[in-house]
Structure 1
Amino acid sequence: MPLNSFHPVVQEWFTTNLGPPTDVQRASWPAIHSGQHALISAPTGSGKTLAAFLTCIDHLLRQAIGGELEDGIQVVYVSPLRALSHDIHKNLELPLAEISEMALSAGFLGPRIRV
């Protein structure tokens, strides 16, 4: 799934902050986007976190813009290690905040997506 399949706000945030997608991201997104299970095994720094979560962020943003985002849990991440769970949480807070701000600046209103 190419990056241009994501909402324009998500695309803009990604390219502005990260540049082009990594091989891991390009290979993972089609399966994740279609709802298939995926196991991503790649070296540190290869983009696994956003390979796994960018499709979720995109879906949540589209729900928020469409007024369909309910206040509740929609994505669950199960971590084998507390430290890894903390890192994932930390690594998602900034993208979620920045994407939400960009959406608001672009005139898309909706509830804020949060961790």
Structure 2
Amino acid sequence: MDKINRLASENGVVIFSKSTCCLCYAVNVLFRELQVMPVVHEIDQDPEGKEMEKAIMRMGINGPVPAVFINGKLIGSTNEVMSLHLSGSLIPMLKPYQALSAS
């Protein structure tokens, strides 16, 4: 869906989420702990949410949310994000989007 691609490419880190999803919350917390402030788009609060959910599923994710995009590219859902993090591959991908620490 064009709307998903447009929203995903407008910001460095975008999470398509549902406001009641605990896995979405966990991924969001992970990014914040890594000093990245993702743009979170709650599809359950979007009038086009059902269509967006179907479009995300067609992209090949097991569940529609969370759907994580970095630099406009679909990374995946919780399993993919956590696997990247555990392997040490996530932080280099997020480097350009990390806030500068005050330390």
TM-score between the two structures when normalised by the length of structure 1: 0.26
Query: Which structure's residues are more often strand, by fraction?
Result: 2
Instruction: Compare CA radii of gyration and give the structure with the larger one.
Output: 1
Structure with higher RCO (Cα < 8 A, 6+ apart): 2
After TM superposition, the score normalised by the length of structure 2 is 0.28
Higher helix share: 1
